[in-house]
Homo-oligomer: A and B are copies of this chain.
Amino acid sequence: MKAKQIRLATRPNGMPTYETFKWTEETVADPAQGEVVLKSLYASVDPYMRGRMNDRKSYVEPYEVGEVIAGGVIAEVVMTNSTQFEVGDIVIGNLGWATHQIAHEDSLRKIDPSKGPLTNHLGILGMPGITAYFGLLDIGKPAAGETVVVSGAAGAVGTVVGQIAKIVGAKVVGIAGTEEKISYLKHELQFDEVVNYKSENFQEELKAACADGVDVYYDNVGGTVSDAVLRLINKYARIPVCGQIALYNLEKPDLGVRVQPNLLVNSALMKGFIVSDYGAHFEEAITDLAKWLKEGKLQSKETVLEGFEKLPEAFLGLFKGDNIGKYLVKIAEPSE
């Protein structure tokens, strides 16, 4: 069986481009004992993958140059040499950007297509949803009536953060960069306030939106947007640091106002995390998220491009803010 792959052609210096990727076509071998052959259905593009393109310590191992790009993929088992998986099973795993591929049974988890849209497992019930859940509830710990600010508010994580904050009774202030996103967050997700960081008066507008200051700042972006929020924090503020998308493509480390004096005078907490820190507790998050989804308290939002060849476009689009909610590429339909 022939399959297409997308590989890391070269480590990007700054913003990745189409030249960051190269395409190959290879034959998929027969599965060895414990392996299956998969047909990819959906692949996720996520900002953290940019970090893996660098040859530097990050929280996930770097991709090797020439290696197939790997990320969250939902796939269908089309051949099996595993006692755990049958042909037709739908699985999820950290898999290659490839139309078909061999995978070991230990790297896969079966998902039940009867329990809702498959794509939820890459979004609201998957890594972004779980990231939102623990970052907000375990680090941010918002109380009813407190003000929660979330940057990257229209993204896969931000949309869930804001909705969970509403569920716990907090006031939610989102930060986003287009009028379409702002309208979606205000009118569909019922965020209390949404501020456009591209506005000339961003700092003043943010201050007006956070009339009682900021108790929790869920940081997906970093950089000067975060500087503006940090000026408004209250005593005992909590700042989960989930992403720094504003910085991922900088060619050298960025200087900014030191945060320590601000944390000091406000007895504030700032904590970085990655979803795998909570690996032992994923089921707890998924149970709550699925319940809220079923009750209509959470909405899932996805932006889906069609076609395997769209993967680089989707990935590059993350850094231009192209997506609302989870950004996915549909590669193939499941078999009947």
Contact A269 B267 (CB under 8 A): no
B residues within 8 A CB of A226? 260
* Contact A271/B272 with A255-B258, A256-B255 known, Cβ cut-off 8 Å: no
How many angstroms from the CA of A247 to the CA of B264 in the assembled complex?
Answer: 12
Contact B270 A58 (CB under 8 A): no
Measured as residues with beta carbon below 8 angstroms from the partner, the interface class of chain A is 35 or more
Contact A260 B57 (CB under 8 A): no
Q: In this complex, what residue of B is CB-closest to A269? A: B271
How many angstroms from the CA of A327 to the CA of B243 in the assembled complex?
Answer: 43
The yes or no answer to A219 lying at the interface (CB within 8 A) is: yes
**What is the minimal beta-carbon distance from A182 to any residue of chain B, in angstroms?**
24
How many angstroms from the CA of A241 to the CA of B259 in the assembled complex?
Answer: 10
Q: In this complex, what residue of B is CB-closest to A270? A: B270
Which residue, of A241, A269, A273, has the highest number of chain B Cβ atoms within 10 A? A241
Per-position 1/0 for A77-119, Cβ under 8 A of B? 0000000000000000000000000000000000000000000
How many angstroms from the CA of A219 to the CA of B264 in the assembled complex?
Answer: 10
**What is the minimal beta-carbon distance from A237 to any residue of chain B, in angstroms?**
10
Binding site for B on A (CB under 8 A): 51, 57-59, 219, 222-223, 226, 241-244, 247, 253-274, 277
List of 8 A-B pairs having minimum Cβ-Cβ separation, nearest first: A263-B272, A264-B272, A269-B271, A255-B255, A256-B258, A59-B265, A270-B270, A241-B260
